Chains A and B, each alone.
Chain A
Amino acid sequence: MNYEAVIGLEVHVQIKTQSKVFTRVGAGFGHEPNTLTDPVVLALPGTLPVMNKAALDAIIKAGLLLGCDIAPICKWDRKQYFYPDSPKNYQISQYDQPICIGGLVEIELPGAARNVMGEHKKIPLTRIHLEEDVGKLNHHATDSLVDYNRAGTPLMEIVSEPAMHTAEEAFAYLTSIRNTMIYGGISDCDMEKGQLRCDANISIRPIGEKKLGTKVELKNLNSISYVRDGIAHEIKRQLAVVATGGTLIQETRDYDGVAGTSQSLRSKEMAHDYRYFPDPDLMPVHVDDAWKAELQGTCPELPFDKQRRFIADYQIPYTITSVLIPDRELSDFFEATAQLAGTGRAQVVGNWITNDLLRELGAAKLSLSASKISPANLAALIQQVDAGTLLNAAAKEVFATMFATGDTPAAIITRLGLAAAPTDAGELESWCRDSIAANSKALAEFKSGKESAINAFKGPIMKAAKGKANPKLVDETLRRLLAEA
């Protein structure tokens, strides 16, 4: 019998705010333990939560970007459980009235080759709700240490329908959510910092069967490649259990990405009974059309829409767009430079960015915004090369200097003496004549129509010019003389 896997993902995304979701103490990663707490975070008696407006704006924006319906009315509920990561013994979450309902996440599957766009699909969402993150437990040999810095950080839970069937789809889904949230400025989605976390619900069923099989929840998928590897591993494990006549049990399993194995978690609270009820300390939220429209106005173009536009409008290859698009800043830089560089130069701009700029940024360990490069300077550099006033080899040096200093290419070319030599026409002509005279074979080939034979003459000319001749002038002079020869 042939089986198919059915996968649903629960993705938690921390919202990038200054303060926590229900109190105003600061939120953030990398602070000394327990330095981001206040009486509300620690659930001291008599404290009351107060909603963070920016967290609401962010989740509504996330919902709009993912095509969700924004509920006109939503509320917050208490989810009761006993675990030291929550000092209240409940987490404030949304149970039956989430703020975002439905939605679709566009994904791209791997193409036939790296330079071929893969198939696109839309994965339906169930809902997105806003809750508070919990504290972090650090487990040691005989005890655990609790840090409440993370507790109360605004957290979105994005729940997909069980609509994916392969580990690749799940990987593409998570990548798409991450890119979209980064574009929207909603979260930095750094999995190493816990800003993006993912649990997967996985089951298998005979192909054609409509009913879902026994579900296994896979936890600890804490890098984007662990998501793919962990799910692939779990599907294989389930198929093997069924193939050997075994029965799958509903359980939670912990994936160990380093070992590539998973093991069952014997949870102390087997059957969850969260006893949700509305939080009496928080008032419901009503979202009207004006509020939605205001946030709609702050929504950027979605990454896949931008990619399709770049390919159509700038005629650049898919490979370049697949490097540019995941990084909103980099793709905006490309667009600004391409517009300055002029018609037909977009691919050259793309090449400079994806090769030289990314290499320099990587070597300097800098973000684009922290670097000194500007679209105007890169466009000017490309124009110098096009005009023949700067040779390609020298352009690399100008670029590196431009990256380091932020100076204009013109200033750098003058300072470093890198300009293609202002050639004396007579001298250039005599070099060209010498070169043609010395290579009768190439001359014959060129005369018989072999266009590329012209290149054979250029090496000796450049050598005579010590590499500084304007290649455009060399080409023009050669063609004139060859026509006479």
Chain B
Amino acid sequence: MSQPAELNIERIAELSRLALTPEEKTRFSAQLGSILGHIEQLAKVDVSGIEPTAHAFPLNNVWAADIAQPGLAVSAALNNAPAQRDHMIVVPKVVD
């Protein structure tokens, strides 16, 4: 299946913080293109006369009362963090 014109593998890699080799770029471009092509079949479905909806399920106004509950302990919250300091998650510097 042909690769849709808008697929920009460089940008997708950058946004995903993935450093791809040229070979990987070619390979993933083809794979992602194939997925997009598959999805594009949906565009062929005739939806004229069907009312747009955010949900297939006819349910609205689902909510809870504003009553605060205890959350996670800091140690549990940070359990998956690759690095932490001062009870915060350390990430690469993201500005400047």
Contact = CB atoms under 8 A, between A and B. Distances in A.
Interface stretch (A36-44, A184-192, A239-247, A471-479): A36-44
B38 interface: no
B94 A137 contact: yes
Interface string A65-102: 00000000101000000111000000000000100000
Interface size classification for chain B: 35 or more
Contacts of A137: 91, 94-95
B92 interface: yes
A144 B66 contact: no
A138 interface: yes
A36 B70 CA distance: 8
A282 B62 CA distance: 8
Contacts of A27: 68
B93 A278 contact: no
A280 B55 contact: yes
Interface stretch (A164-172, A228-236, A283-291, A359-367): A283-291
Say whether chain B's binding surface is mostly helix, strand, loop, or mixed: loop
Interface string A128-172: 000000000111111111111000000000000000000000000
Interface residues of A, number: 51
A26 interface: yes
Contacts of A32: 74, 87
B44 interface: no
A268 B67 CA distance: 39
A283 B60 contact: yes
A96 to B, nearest CB: 10
Contacts of A36: 71
Given A138-B88, A283-B62, 14 more contacts: A19-B69, A24-B68, A26-B69, A26-B71, A33-B86, A34-B88, A51-B63, A52-B63, A73-B60, A97-B54, A137-B95, A139-B93, A278-B55, A283-B60
A50 B64 contact: yes
Contacts of B54: 75, 97, 278, 284
27 contacts: A17-B66, A25-B70, A33-B74, A34-B74, A37-B72, A37-B77, A38-B69, A38-B71, A41-B71, A50-B64, A52-B63, A52-B66, A53-B65, A54-B66, A56-B63, A75-B54, A84-B94, A137-B94, A137-B95, A145-B86, A145-B89, A146-B90, A148-B89, A278-B55, A282-B62, A283-B59, A286-B60
A144 B74 contact: no
Interface in B13-44: 14-17
Contacts of B78: 34
Contacts of B65: 53-54
Interface in A304-348: none
Contacts of A42: 72, 77
Nearest to A154: B66
A144 B68 contact: no
Contacts of B89: 34, 84, 145-146, 148
A63 to B, nearest CB: 17
Nearest to A41: B71
Nearest to A53: B63
A432 to B, nearest CB: 69
B64 to A, nearest CB: 5
A82 B17 contact: yes
A457 B21 CA distance: 101
B61 interface: yes
Contact of B72 (A19, A38, A84, A286): A38
A53 B62 CA distance: 9
A55 interface: yes
Interface in A200-223: none
A283 B56 CA distance: 10
Contacts of B70: 25-26
A115 interface: no
A141 B96 CA distance: 10
A286 B61 contact: yes
